[in-house]
């Protein structure tokens, strides 16, 4: 049997972490992308993808319908705590397997050899669709928000379907262009996002509280609950309204796709994942409380024709269209950071999955363009898929509900897959993680799996009842469509050729795979000994000194 040769390409532009490159080689991949991102940059990117003020603003109609203050504020606090636990669970695994494949790779490595291909295939498609649709939802709502600015001066303006689609495409094109021609500045862009967001929240807070003629009471802000506009039973409406917070706090796991562009990724990326969720949770509270104190008439906000009430809220409180636009401009700035960051992560996820042959046309999508040092064609594919999905808006005026729902469902379930496999296998692989959850690991993991199951049900629900065809939440339809594509491609090619992420297959029990510059770690047998042992017994030849002969 010939052993796999693993080499490390040290001559690539920008690669300045031989240890991380060697560790990546040990996981079966050559390092092709420059490691020029810092922990602060990845944190900024995660923070940008979640885009708290932007995400909460564009989905505010959901919570105004499904409970108002209690759902808005306490729903946010609840989902922030849940997301922090999920982020910690993912960080624990990321510290062991820091690769651009992210949850897709983790599911395979945590599984037995027998189940690794199907586990990675399912997780990979979930995270791929989740990355695409969260980018879609960010940029689509961004296009809507830009057009809503016109209504600050012309209250009768209602954008046509074509105007909305064209504005969405323009936002996508800008984000793609920045990812191509500004690739070397992504580190700086992600860092600027942190300061822009923090400054925006403070400016909005001060402006709203100082300029509002009328303020709500503390009782309204912290305890008012009214779900009468939803049509749902009062208690259930609260859970349906959690989509606002869950959608906003969804993208943190996407930054695992940047592991191959960070130095010391086993330490820096897990830290960035958890810190970004904590920062987002605090930012959301600071942003929401002032808004609730100055909240105008709720029905007036819900009657906004374009479904984006935040501009009207700003205009009403400041007393002028110019003042409203000034605050809205800060939110639009956050939009572009979010759109750029989400498209970056989506392209890297596409590249990583194509690298293992799991997407039709993988040979093209896995190429790294040496002019820009990015997976250019994966970026183009991600942009094209989102632009095409945006056409759903022609059939449903509530298309944004579908985009947010399917993004939340796919990303949540993709996060749950490696956590589930880890729990089923006794959490052995993460026992020595540098980001260990310790004795609380089981409880946290199981509780998070329960929440993810509930979330899948919740986020297929329409925001309100009764439901018309144009107002329906088509998240389940979009989800089923991609599931059929994945299933069809699996039977066409995957079941014959897809073996999951590359890992050494000829490692005997106790044998080490030595990579220059990398300290030896546990063997494949130690991680998945049950199946590997069976394979070795069937294929092993004579051994010398405990090692299989080549």
**Domain containing residue 127: CATH number:** 1.20.1740.10
Three-class SS state of 445: helix
Judge whether 547 lies within some domain. Answer: no
pLDDT value, residue 537: 45
To the nearest 10 degrees (0 to 180), the angle between helices 75-94 and 441-458 is 120
Q: Which domain holds residue 437?
A: 38-496
Judge whether 87 lies within some domain. Answer: yes
With cut-offs at 50, 70 and 90, classify the pLDDT of residue 503. low
Judge whether 469 lies within some domain. Answer: yes
Judge whether 490 lies within some domain. Answer: yes
Mean pLDDT, range 155-173, rounded to an integer? 94
To the nearest 10 degrees (0 to 180), the angle between helices 265-293 and 39-50 is 40
Judge whether 26 lies within some domain. Answer: no
With cut-offs at 50, 70 and 90, classify the pLDDT of residue 479. confident
Judge whether 111 lies within some domain. Answer: yes
CA 500, CA 32: separation in Å to the nearest integer?
Answer: 19
CA 311, CA 302: separation in Å to the nearest integer?
Answer: 12
pLDDT value, residue 17: 64
Report pLDDT digits (tens) over 446-476: 999 999 999 988 888 888 888 877 777 788 8
Asked if pLDDT for residue 525 goes beyond 70, the answer is no
DSSP string spanning 285-308?
Answer: HHHHHHHHHT---HHHHHT-TTS-
Mean pLDDT, range 506-521, rounded to an integer? 34
With cut-offs at 50, 70 and 90, classify the pLDDT of residue 518. very low
103-140 burial, b if ≥16 CB within 10 A, otherwise e?
bbbbbbbbbbbebbbbbbbbbbbbbbbbbbbbbbbbbb
pLDDT value, residue 534: 40
Helix residue spans in 15-115 (DSSP H): 18-26, 39-50, 52-58, 60-65, 69, 75-94, 103-110
Q: What is the value of pTM for the model shown?
A: 0.83
> Does the N-terminal peptide bond of residue 466 adopt cis geometry, omega within 30 degrees of 0?
yes
Return the structure tokens found at 57: 């603003």
DSSP H or E stretch at residue 543 = strand 543-544
CA 501, CA 402: separation in Å to the nearest integer?
Answer: 31
pLDDT value, residue 357: 84
With cut-offs at 50, 70 and 90, classify the pLDDT of residue 2. very low
With cut-offs at 50, 70 and 90, classify the pLDDT of residue 514. very low
Asked if pLDDT for residue 204 goes beyond 60, the answer is yes
With cut-offs at 50, 70 and 90, classify the pLDDT of residue 172. very high
What is the percentage of the chain residues whose pLDDT exceeds 70? 87
> Which of 238-242, 292-296, 423-427, 473-477 is predicted with the least confidence, judged by mean pLDDT?
473-477
Judge whether 51 lies within some domain. Answer: yes
pLDDT value, residue 208: 96
Report pLDDT digits (tens) over 299-329: 999 998 778 899 999 999 999 999 999 999 9
Domain total of the chain:
1
Write the Ramachandran bin of 304: left for phi over 0, alpha for psi from -120 to 50, otherwise beta: beta
Q: Count H helices and E strands in the chain, helices first.
A: 24, 2
- CA-based nearest residue to 146, from 268, 325, 291: 325
With cut-offs at 50, 70 and 90, classify the pLDDT of residue 371. very high
With cut-offs at 50, 70 and 90, classify the pLDDT of residue 10. very low
Neighbours of 227 (CB within 10 A): 23
How far CA 181 is from CA of 45, 108, 174, 177, 254, in Å, comes to 18, 34, 10, 6, 22
* Chain-centre distance for alpha carbon 401: 17
Judge whether 400 lies within some domain. Answer: yes
Contact between 271 and 41 under an 8 Å Cβ cutoff? The reply is no
Which single residue is written with the structure tokens 């405990």?
Answer: 546
Q: Which residue has the higher pLDDT, 208 or 28?
A: 208
With cut-offs at 50, 70 and 90, classify the pLDDT of residue 121. very high
pLDDT value, residue 16: 56
Q: By 3-state DSSP, what share of the chain in percent is helix, strand and coil, each rounded to 5?
A: 70, 0, 30
Q: Which residue has the higher pLDDT, 463 or 525?
A: 463
Contact between 88 and 437 under an 8 Å Cβ cutoff? The reply is yes
Contact between 505 and 538 under an 8 Å Cβ cutoff? The reply is no
Which single residue is written with the structure tokens 């899948």?
Answer: 456
**548 forms bridges with which residues in the sheet?**
543
Burial class (CB in 10 A: 0-12, 13-18, 19+), 402: buried
Contact between 404 and 139 under an 8 Å Cβ cutoff? The reply is no
pLDDT value, residue 495: 85
**Highest mean pLDDT out of 181-195, 247-261, 318-332, 419-433:** 318-332
């Amino acid at each position: 049997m010939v052993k796999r040769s693993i080499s490390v390409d040290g001559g690539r532009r920008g690669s300045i972490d031989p240890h991380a490159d060697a560790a990546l080689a040990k996981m079966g991949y050559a390092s092709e992308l420059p490691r020029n991102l810092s922990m602060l940059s990845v944190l900024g990117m995660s923070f940008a993808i979640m885009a708290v003020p932007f995400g909460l603003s564009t989905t505010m109609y959901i919570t105004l319908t499904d409970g108002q203050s209690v759902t808005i504020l306490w729903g946010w606090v609840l989902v922030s705590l849940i997301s922090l636990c999920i982020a910690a669970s993912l960080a624990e695994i990321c510290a062991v397997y820091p690769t651009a494949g992210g949850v897709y790779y983790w599911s395979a490595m945590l599984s037995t050899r027998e189940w690794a291909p199907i586990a990675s295939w399912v997780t990979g498609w979930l995270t791929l669709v989740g990355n695409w649709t969260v980018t879609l939802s960010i940029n689509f709502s961004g296009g809507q928000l830009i057009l809503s600015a016109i209504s600050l001066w012309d209250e009768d303006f209602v954008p046509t379907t074509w105007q909305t689609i064209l504005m969405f495409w323009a936002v996508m094109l800008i984000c793609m262009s920045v990812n191509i021609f500004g690739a070397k500045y992504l580190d700086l862009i992600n860092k600027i996002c942190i300061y822009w967001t923090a400054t925006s929240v403070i400016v909005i807070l001060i402006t709203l509280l100082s300029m509002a003629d009328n303020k709500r009471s503390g009782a309204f802000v912290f305890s008012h609950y009214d779900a009468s506009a939803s049509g749902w039973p009062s208690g259930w409406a609260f859970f349906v309204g959690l989509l606002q917070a869950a959608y906003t706090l969804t993208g943190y796991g996407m930054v695992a796709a940047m592991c191959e562009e960070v130095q010391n990724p086993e330490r820096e990326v897990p830290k960035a994942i958890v810190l970004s969720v904590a920062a987002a949770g605090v930012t959301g509270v600071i942003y929401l409380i002032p808004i609730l104190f100055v909240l105008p008439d709720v029905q007036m906000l819900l009657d906004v024709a374009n479904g984006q009430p935040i501009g009207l809220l700003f205009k009403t409180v400041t007393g002028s269209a110019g003042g409203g636009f000034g605050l809205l401009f800060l939110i639009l700035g956050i939009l572009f950071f979010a759109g750029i960051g989400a498209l970056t992560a989506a392209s890297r996820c596409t590249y990583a999955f194509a690298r293992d042959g799991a997407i039709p046309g993988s040979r093209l999508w896995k190429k790294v363009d040496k002019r820009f040092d990015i997976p250019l064609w994966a970026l183009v594919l991600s942009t094209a898929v989102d632009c095409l999905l945006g056409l759903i808006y022609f059939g449903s005026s509530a298309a944004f509900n579908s985009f947010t729902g399917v993004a939340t469902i796919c990303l949540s379930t993709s996060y749950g897959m490696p956590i589930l496999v880890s729990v089923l296998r006794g959490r052995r692989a993460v026992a020595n993680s540098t980001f260990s959850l310790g004795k609380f690991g089981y409880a946290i993991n199981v509780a998070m799996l329960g929440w993810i199951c509930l979330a899948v049900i919740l986020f297929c629900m329409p925001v309100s009842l009764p439901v018309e065809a144009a107002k329906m939440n088509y998240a389940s339809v979009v989800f089923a469509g991609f599931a059929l594509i994945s299933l069809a491609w699996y039977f066409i090619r995957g079941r014959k050729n897809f073996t999951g992420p590359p890992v050494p297959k000829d490692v005997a029990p106790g044998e080490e795979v030595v990579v220059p510059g990398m300290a030896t770690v546990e063997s494949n047998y130690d991680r998945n000994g049950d199946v590997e042992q069976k394979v070795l017994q069937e294929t092993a030849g004579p051994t010398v000194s405990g090692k299989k002969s080549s």
